[in-house]
Structure 1
Amino acid sequence: MDEVGIRVAPVGDHLVFRVLGPIEVAGAGGPVRIPPGRQQIILASLLVEANKVVSTDHLVDTLWEVNPPDTARTQVQICVSRLRKTLSDAGVEVSIVTRPPGYQLRVPETSLDVHEFTRAVAEARAAAKRGALAEASEVLRAAVGLWRGPCLSGLSGRSLRTRALRLEEDRLNAVETYLGIDLELGRHHELVGETGRLVHEHPLRERPRALLMLALYRSGRKAEALEVYRAGRDLLVEELGLEPGEELRGLERAIHAGDASLLRSPAPERDQPPTPHVDAAPSRAVPRQLPADTADFIGGEALIRTAEEVLTGRRERRAIGLVVVIGRPGVGKSTLAAHIGHRITEEHFPDGQLYCDLRGTYGDAGQSADVLGRFLQALGIPGSLIPADLAARTEMYRTMLADRRVLVVLDNAVSERQVLPLLPGSGTCAVVVTSRSRLTGLPGARQLKLDVLDLDQSLALLGRVIGEDRVSGEREAAEALVRTVGGLPLALRIVAARLAARPHWSLASMVHRLASERHRLDELAHGEMTIRASLSLTHDGLDRPTRRLFGLLSLAEGPSLPGWVAGAVLDDDRPYASDLIEPLVDVQMLDVVSVDGSGGFRYRFQDIIRLFAREQLSTADAEERHRVQERVLGGWLALAERAHRGVYGGDFTALHGDAPRWHPPADHVAQLLERPIEWLEGELPNLRAAVAQAARIGMDELCWDLAVTATTVFEARGHLDDWQHTHDEALRATRAAHNTRGTAALLASLGTLHINRGRPAESKAALTEALELFTEIGDPLGRALCHRDLGLLTRQAGDDAGALALYESALRGFAQVDDVVGRAIVLTQRAHILMRTGHGDEVLEQLAEAMDICRSVGYAGGIATTMRRIGQVQLHRGEHARAERTLSEVLEMVRANRDVIGESHLLHNLGEVNAAAGRHDTARDYFEQSIAVRERIMDHEGAAVVRRDLALMEARITA
């Protein structure tokens, strides 16, 4: 692990190929003409995947998006042959080699502008990390200067357009980054014009708008900064129906308040050596979980004032402020709760907001414990440190909130039993609960009943949607319409949306249509007839394909619907399947709730609307419903599988079944899974719902495969409750279906879970049963996974010889199936034993092999783990300077990955290194930092271990 100095070449030197603009090639004698059309498209496709194999099928799809000719593959071969000749004749030192299943363009890293851009961005990131902000800004500006116009301009092809959009996004991120750096350097006066142009070009991007607001404010132009916010908010509401994000809202509040922190001193424009120390009192996690506020909120002003008084303590109170909002379905309870939360949270609850939709839970202790687990993780407690039982979680939760000012919103509660464990114990916090029931058993709760809108409020809401002139022009019809829907906000919004989409319809005609529908509709439930009438009227006005989609979408369970689900429901592989959903959004049959990682929207059914949609499935037979569910669940499995490959660099250490997959369009998947672990974590509620649905409808093969595949995020981010719940459900399904391999896979995974939870006896029992089943069916990968984890358990029990034997069995199994990452993990785990038994040289050789494997496949987690082990070996050998460099590098990696447990371990290791080297003050700092981190996450046992090592060092100093 010696340090190596790297001299980075200037940005843009020696470029041969340029795609950041029109495609250009430079040969020995000057520019090389590539014939436009197919040859340019193929060259561009190979360049954007330079040094990777591009399949012939991909090239065919790029050239002919639909209906390729029978000779398509031959034509691709001809184009590639001509490209080779053109480049060779021009003296371009590059090769296009045939590699199954297609072609690979081999180019030096410095000859392609995309590679140069990526290198420069990485160099700038490193410069910023070491404090050289001016250098980072300069390098980023030079990188952005590589653009000569729109990326790949003049070329057609869906995949090329998608890749161009991703590169444009990278460019914008680089621009935003150097503008932010320049602001830190105090260059706000010079940035106003440049940032303003960026906002004008990309008005819906929030980051440039925030930078412009800050530049204006620091330039003494407060009013203009606030006007930039107002213009952006109006645009977001009008175009997307969304409020600005927390960054913009927080900045606007800070500018209004004249927050002095916005006028920070400029950072020095010189390199600053990095300090090895951090604050010994790490900042606490501040959750921001409230749903977005509603831009056109109307009504409930008296209730809002009462709620604010109770929640903020304006009326004297000693216990927590507790408000229960009750009302019938569709009356707007959830909307009101979110609105109240946004009005009071910043001033009165600066330590954050916790939110959970309790819909579908029924108050049993297990599910309350599940909610507490999610809250504790949001408050910064790693999943592996969260206790299993409800009482212990409640105690930890109330301890965490004892000195914090946090607002808790519990939406759609069913019973007092469900809510009571979720109440904080401190009067510094407050709670808003929404429910259809009164929940009179909640002590000290203030009951607020939300009723329907009155006439004036209803007309105001109607006017905001369809226009006040239209309402005033048919005042009597508008009043009749309000009476017809009973003043229910949900029903009124649905009807208003339909009117807004049909400006030629009169309000009187809508009243007539609704009245004619009502007489032949049965009630969904007492008091809900007006909602059902409104839904039926809107539903019947949709075209037939959209009506069919509406009903079938209700078969997709989970709290939200990504756009690709519409494609799965209809077996439609169009690139933008969300286009199919938009007609339902237009008439408010679906809500837009967020934007996913690919920039697409996510949707959600209101509870009553989903129930209505299920009623419309009467025309779909059982076989069609099954196929739809199979495709949607198969889509979740295909995406989770791809995400696992993205994390591990391939299908390593993964057991899969033969359930059918449904694959969303490849370009969309590439965008969606650009950050695979973040995608997995963001989709946890949907993945968990998919496992439960698969178990319930008898898809046991898909169920166990999806549950086991999702372990990638369960383990990486400590979602141990989700791990347990999904596997328990899947295990019941596989046992009932006598699915031996699925049962074995789940038991093996549960064995790993029990290791993470510190339950060796339960782990050994699960792994032993799994090993027997894998042996019975002859599954070498399953046996290898069991041997690996049993080796770890045996090592922890102190039996080094037994552990080494099990590790050898695991290595043979992984070799049999060519699982190189499995081998690397075993080599890293085994190194601990070899290090302690005096095999130092052998350890470093094996760790070097493990590091090569992890780097070759891009397995970042394995790189960090192996490097930490190398640092420990270096410490053991007395190589203190090398050990400190290695462990410091790993510390940065685990911090970047938000691994707080890993951070505490690395700080402890760095304390041990400095103590061994005699640098006692530095060692003391690291030990105290480790203790502070462990105390913050309530790992008192771990903190005690670090305190012991600190005390031993102090004793040696004074001896």
Structure 2
Amino acid sequence: MSSAPDELLIFKLLGPIEVIGAQEQVQVPPGRQQTILGALLLEANRVVSMDQLIDLVWEHTPPSTARAQIQICVSALRREFSRVGVDALIETRQPGYLLRVAGDRIDTFLFERRVADSDAAVRQGRLEEAATTLRSALALWRGPALGGAAATLHNKALRLDEKRLSVLENCIDIELLLGRHHALIGELQSMVTEHPLRERPRGQLMLALYRSGRQSEALDVYRAGRDLFIEHLGLEPSDQLRKLETAILTDDEVLRLDQEKTVPVTVQNVVSPHQLPATIADFIGRQDVVARMLSVLSGDHMSMPVVNISGKAGIGKSALAVHVAHRVATERYPDGQLYCDLRGTQAQSATPAEVLGRFLSALGAVGSTLPDGVDERADMYRSMLANRRVLVVLDDAGSESQVHQLLPGSPTCGVIVTSRARLTGLAGSHLVDVDFMDSDDALELLGRIIGTQRLQSEPVAAAALVDVVGGLPLALRIIGARLAARTHWSLASMVGRLADERHRLDELVHGDMVVRASLSLTYDGLEPDTCRVMRLMSLLEAESLPVWTASALTDDERNRGFDLLERLVDAQLLDVVGSDVTGLPRYRFHDLIRLFAKEQLAGHEEPDAQLASVERVAGGWLAMAEQAHQRLYGGDFTVLHGTGRRWQPHGPYVDQVLQDPLGWLESERPNICAAVLQAADAGLDELAWDLAITLVTLFETRSYLDDWQQTHERALDATRRAGNKRGTAALLCSLGSLHHSQRRMEAARTALEPALELFTELDDSHGLALVRRNLGLLEYNEGRPELATRIFEQSLTGFKRVGDVVGQAYVVSQLAQLSLDRGEHELAVEQLRGALGMCREISSPRVEAQVLYRLGGAMLVQGRYEQAQQLITSVLGMVQRSGDTVGESYALHSLGLIHGRMRMFAEAGRLLRRAIRLCEENLDRVGAARIRLDLAQLVSQRGETFHAIAIVEQAMMTFQELRLALWESKALAVLEKIAADNPLPATVTSNGGAR
């Protein structure tokens, strides 16, 4: 016998809750701590979620501080365990806590272990040992289970108490078979008095009295029971009890111990069913999931192990369930396996009463003994499975309510449930999410169906087939079956058939395997508003979508989007792929499910309604991007806006996500760029150009030059088609800035000059100020400072006219640079201090950093190195905190120059190389080349002439490739200076060769 001695117990639940430490007993205060401890012990070595604990402590009215109070209680328990030396740990495990303790240290586990040992002894005919073991199990009880615990644990306590009664009745059955009827009479009389409506102990008392020669008393016990049943229940005693009365009246020999027969009322003839479907011969992959399920179903448990497999239609849930069931059936569940397809996704799902009828029949109950009511059937089912080792597989469950009454009550049984929903309401169940196959497993599955030689002959096409269905096993099996049936088809031809998204679901059909039909079963079971949000979500092409987009799609002012999306998640039609800074989930479709949703969209939503949904979502992105820009620049400065309709997401949500406006723009960049393209394609030109322009805040800060160009060119197509002159001018102006930043001067002029003409025609002062600012930069960088000065002054006048303070500060800082170039250092400093004051007046930290950078440059030119270092160091901190990588490269470059002037060559070189790397990461080739010229001069000062020349020539290649003549001439000047400062033995050519 494997049972542990009672003195090893630490936790006692079979009576008042007790905790015994190495030094003394722990006093767990009644109330919250006792409830939490009881819940953790009942699920020992398994995670209990925070939500479950909150429900147990406060039921349906938790306070706002509920989570904090639970944490305080857990901390108190941990401290007390540590103080008195309790050999157990309470670990924090998402989504709650896990109490880790050896099973034989808890009396509930020890009770179950001894009951299981007794069952094994009965099967082997060792009745004396079985009875002794059960009595030792029953001796663990000190009163009602969980005595003194909160009312919310009452149902769990009742289940334990019911288990005790059932085990006691089993024990008496065995002892009656051993002839101990005289000794049992007193105990049975007490049981009947305490549980007068319970038939089994009444029958046992009748039998004990009869065998003790007290036939009349046995019949009196029956008659008293019959009167009680009629009075309280309106029912006659059961057939079994009536048959026992008849047997006593007729002195039936079947009741005598010298007959090798069982007693009909107390021992049931339970058969061993084996209902599992055949396992799949080509089951592939899922090793981690299979191992986890085997561990749960094969381990020792204080409560019944339940595995809930959830996943999408066609993901392979049933195949996994049957595969694992076969793996554990023979060794762990030798008393049988029950299986039923619950048809939870179909219109006519199996009812609990229907399934219980099937299971009871399979277990040996004859038709005449089957109760009519579902509760009575559930009671009989649990009784027949008590202490037996049976595995129950419930396939395609629709909800918790369909499953609850089908769960055995014995921890010796195990349960596997498959469902498209996550049945989190099944207390204590182990949730197993089944995901799509990875490419290696998917290819292996396809190879097993069509043959590895055929697979290996077209490896590229095989990989494309796996990719096009996203690793969905049902789709892979359909493809494999179609190819296996048509050996003359190439894999490439199948790829071609699946290439057209409009007909892809039509191709994924073979016999009774149909992807569309599988998805329809789930979709058709949804409520109409959930179906609609699923259809509309398919409109949006994005990597992941935040909650508010669902409300925008449906124009829902009640913010019910989260609830609707979570219903889709529960139905496995939508995936959660992370969360945003608010903690709210982000969602994404699997490609095949999106195609299905698009099919439904075409059939249910009018084109005008679809366009309105797209417009609201684009308007939502614009409203938030607009606010992000305002927070970065201190207002609506240096940006033009159009008349596109905004849609405002929930205010508190916006405030939370825009606490870091640049970070939010970064995180949503793929979505907002996609919104620009979709708005442009849909003819929403005002939204398209406005959103594209607003995104430049992010594009120029993080050097997303490809996004900048793509969004602007697509929006430009839309504005030109619509004859939208202002939008066209704004986009051309911004494209000019992009081309200028890439040192594509000719392209910049080609964009800026038409923009100037359009803004002049429209008499748009703000637009004119912006385009002149960009033209001034162009003239400056092409070596025409006088013209640049005049254009900057015109731009400054325009910014003043429209009240664009940041625009003014930027242009003043450019004029200051021109003053520096002319040697007018004091004037430049004065101008920069004026620009700095403008930025601080309206709190525009980004432009403030740019002005401080120029002020640091002015200090450097004046030889005020320490002040320059202080200013640029502060700039570096500002840009690093905001994530401005372009600004960081400028600051590092400037700091490198300052350290070089201070003859701190090693540090200067390190800073310049960091700046080059950052420019290259930002795809700023010109910036990297410019810094190389300074690095080369630094290296030359250290006497490394050949290295310095190589650095200059690397920069020269960039200038020549991009046709930047001005910078090419500067590079040549640096080469000449290096050669002059460090004469070489031979003349060195511009390409580094000696002659």
TM-score where L is the length of structure 1: 0.49
Larger Rg: 2
Structure number with greater CO (CA < 8 Å, separation at least 6) is 1
